[in-house]
Structure 1
Amino acid sequence: MTIDNFRKEIPSLAIVVPCYNESEAFSYCLSQLGECLSDLIKKKKIQPQSYILFVDDGSRDDTWTQIKAATQKCSFVRGVKLSRNRGHQIALMAGLSRADTDVTISIDADLQDDIRCIPIMVEKYSQGMDIVYGVRNDRSSDSLFKRMTANGFYWLMAKMGVQQVANHADFRLLSRRALQGLLAYKEQNLYIRGVVPLVGYPSDKVFYSRSSRIAGESKYPFRKMLALAMEGITSLTVAPLRLISVLGFLTCFLSLLGSIYVVVRKYFGEAIEGWASVEISIFFLGGVQLLCLGVIGEYIGKIYMEVKKRPKFLIQEEVRSSDSL
Structure 2
Amino acid sequence: MKQIQFIIPLLNEAKNIPLIYDAIRREITKNNIDIRITYIDDGSIDESWDQICQLSASDIRVKGIRFSRNFGKEYAIEAGLRQSKADAAIVLDADLQHPIALIPEMIEAWLNEGFKVVSGIKSQRQKESVFRSVVSSSYYYIFNRMSGLQLQQMTDFKLLDKEVIESYLALPEGSRFFRGLIAWLGYKEKLIEFSPLDRLHGETAWSFRQLVNYAKGTLISFSYVPLKLISFMSFAMFLFALLLGLQSIYNKLLGNAEEGFTTVLITQLIIGCAIMYGLSNIGTYIAKIYDELKSRPHYIISEETRE
TM-score in terms of structure 1 length: 0.90
Residue 227 of structure 1 aligns to a residue in which SS? Answer: helix
Partner in structure 1 of residue 271 of structure 2 = 285
Does the aligned pair in 2 maintain the 1:80–1:318 contact within 8 Å?
yes
Paired AA for residue 76 in structure 2:
A
Out of 246, 257, 260, which is 1:260 matched to?
246
- How far, CA to CA, are the matches of 1:150 and 1:212 in structure 2? 19
Q: Deviations over 1:291-313 (max 9, x none)?
A: 11001111010001111111111
Structure 2 stretches of 5 or more lacking a match?
Answer: none
Task: Give the drift of 1:140.
Answer: 5.7
TM alignment of 1:195-274, pairs within 5 A: 195-274=181-260
- How far, CA to CA, are the matches of 2:141 and 2:231 in structure 1? 22
Paired AA for residue 264 in structure 1:
Y
Out of 7, 10, 30, which is 1:16 matched to?
7
Task: Give the drift of 1:161.
Answer: 2.8
Does the aligned pair in 2 maintain the 1:162–1:194 contact within 8 Å?
no
Q: Deviations over 1:125-183 (max 9, x none)?
A: 01211101110011263332232122211111111133133211211010000000110
Partner in structure 1 of residue 288 of structure 2 = 302
State percent identity of aligned pairs: 31
Does the aligned pair in 2 maintain the 1:244–1:292 contact within 8 Å?
yes
Whether 1:78 aligns to 2:63 is yes
Out of 148, 163, 186, which is 1:162 matched to?
148
Number of equivalences: 306
- How far, CA to CA, are the matches of 2:253 and 2:161 in structure 1? 73
Residue 99 of structure 2 aligns to a residue in which SS? Answer: coil
Mean Cα deviation higher: 224-233 or 129-138: 224-233
Partner in structure 2 of residue 105 of structure 1 = 90
Q: Deviations over 1:101-136 (max 9, x none)?
A: 001000011011111111111000012111011100
TM-score in terms of structure 2 length: 0.95
Partner in structure 2 of residue 122 of structure 1 = 107
Task: Give the drift of 1:220.
Answer: 1.8
- How far, CA to CA, are the matches of 2:107 and 2:4 in structure 1? 9
Task: Give the drift of 1:34.
Answer: 2.8
- How far, CA to CA, are the matches of 1:150 and 1:11 in structure 2? 37
Partner in structure 2 of residue 192 of structure 1 = 178
Task: Give the drift of 1:282.
Answer: 1.1
Partner in structure 2 of residue 31 of structure 1 = 22
Task: Give the drift of 1:221.
Answer: 2.2
- How far, CA to CA, are the matches of 2:162 and 2:263 in structure 1? 63
Q: Deviations over 1:37-96 (max 9, x none)?
A: 3x24xx31x12xx21100000112221111111111223211001122101111111111
Aligned-CA RMSD value: 1.4
- How far, CA to CA, are the matches of 2:304 and 2:22 in structure 1? 21
Partner in structure 2 of residue 6 of structure 1 = none
Does the aligned pair in 2 maintain the 1:22–1:63 contact within 8 Å?
yes
- How far, CA to CA, are the matches of 1:35 and 1:140 in structure 2? 25
Residue 138 of structure 1 aligns to a residue in which SS? Answer: coil
Q: Measured at CA, do residues 140 and 92 of structure 1 come closer, stay the same or move farther in structure 2, by a change above 3 Å?
A: closer
- How far, CA to CA, are the matches of 2:244 and 2:235 in structure 1? 14
Task: Give the drift of 1:28.
Answer: 2.1
Residue 160 of structure 1 aligns to a residue in which SS? Answer: helix
Residue 38 of structure 2 aligns to a residue in which SS? Answer: strand
Does the aligned pair in 1 maintain the 2:6–2:36 contact within 8 Å?
yes
Structure 1 stretches of 5 or more lacking a match?
Answer: 1-9
Q: Measured at CA, do residues 266 and 310 of structure 1 come closer, stay the same or move farther in structure 2, by a change above 3 Å?
A: same
Paired AA for residue 182 in structure 1:
Y
Does the aligned pair in 2 maintain the 1:234–1:299 contact within 8 Å?
yes
- How far, CA to CA, are the matches of 2:232 and 2:222 in structure 1? 20
